[in-house]
Amino acid sequence: MIPVLGVPVLNRSDLLYGMLESIDHPVGRIVVIDNGDVVSRYELEQIQPGIRLIKPGANIGVAASWNLVMKANPWAPWWFLVNNDIVFQPGDLARLEQTVQPEAALFHMLSFAAFAVTRQALDVLGYFDENFHPAYDEDVDYAYRCQLATVPRIGVLSAARHVGSATIYADKLYRNQNGKTHGLNDRYYERKWGGPKMGGETFTTPFDRGGSIGDWTLEPSRLREQGWEVRAIRAVR
């Protein structure tokens, strides 16, 4: 059994429902973080009874959503974090469970669009940095931490399909806002690690201060300045 499957969603609830319908393997708990208030409790119950639906009331972002899934289920030996625009193929999830081992490692089905974090890896790497708000670069930051801590990233054989960036491609408002915030996240990454992502880093601890690679302190100004305007779409309860 997969202990916990967590998925954030901002729009395209139709893709979320399709992802949930493609689950063909037992899952202990499914957690949906509805950042856009677009998910219907009724629809969820028709697809997968017992899903835990969390509506933060605002777009808390990808990193905060992933962290919330893990914090709300601290008992789990591992967490499977997925995008809403995934469609699993028969046997994918069974292979995932067979592949994940109780070690400090990440297990990737589709890079950071569908991946598992073990409890041991979380202890080494810490939580995702929520200053990468509301999306993009939180995964690159985590991958660099894996590199620094020699935490392996292990591939999981699958035929799962991924639309890719469905949130921003489906909405011009979100696409335009991402054009600004993605660049701001890039600059925060450079400040944090001493150079551009994926090869230009020079620091081995955040901000070259020493200490744990998992250290970060939330900067409230980033949430204020980088928060996306969210369309006022309310789902049927």
Cross-strand bridge partners of residue 5? 30, 80
Residue 175 lies in a domain: yes
Q: For the chain, give the percent of residues with pLDDT over 90.
A: 80
For 48-101, where are the alpha helices, taking DSSP H only?
Answer: 62-72, 92-99
Torsions phi, psi for 50 (to 5 deg): 90, 5
Residue 15 lies in a domain: yes
Q: Looking at residue 158, which CATH number applies to its domain?
A: 3.90.550.60
Say what the pLDDT of residue 178 is. 76
Residue 231 lies in a domain: no
Residue 147 lies in a domain: yes
CA distance 235 to 187: 36
> Mind listing the pLDDT tens digit for each residue in 211-226?
999 999 999 999 999 9
pLDDT band at 229, cuts 50/70/90? confident
Residue 88 lies in a domain: yes
Q: Closest Cα partner for 56 from 30, 33, 82?
A: 33
Q: How far is CA 190 from CA 36, 116, 149, 195, in A?
A: 29, 26, 19, 4
Residue 101 lies in a domain: yes
111 pLDDT more than 90: yes
32 pLDDT more than 50: yes
pLDDT band at 12, cuts 50/70/90? confident
The residue among 14 and 139 whose pLDDT is bigger is 139
The arithmetic mean of pLDDT across residues 184-190, rounded, is: 97
Give the domain range for residue 122.
2-226
Helix then strand then coil, % of the chain, to nearest 5: 40, 20, 45
Overall domain count for the chain: 1
pLDDT band at 169, cuts 50/70/90? low
Q: Output the DSSP codes for 15-42.
A: HHHHHHHT--S-EEEEEEEETTS---HH
Residue 182 lies in a domain: yes
pLDDT band at 234, cuts 50/70/90? very low
Say what the pLDDT of residue 175 is. 75
Residue 232 lies in a domain: no
Amino acid at 56: P
pTM for the model: 0.94
CA distance 175 to 10: 12
Mean pLDDT, the chain, whole residue set: 92
Torsions phi, psi for 71 (to 5 deg): -70, -35
The lowest-confidence range among 96-110, 199-213, 221-235 is 221-235
232 pLDDT more than 60: no
Cis status, amide bond into 152, omega within 30 of 0: no
Q: For the chain, give the percent of residues with pLDDT over 70.
A: 94
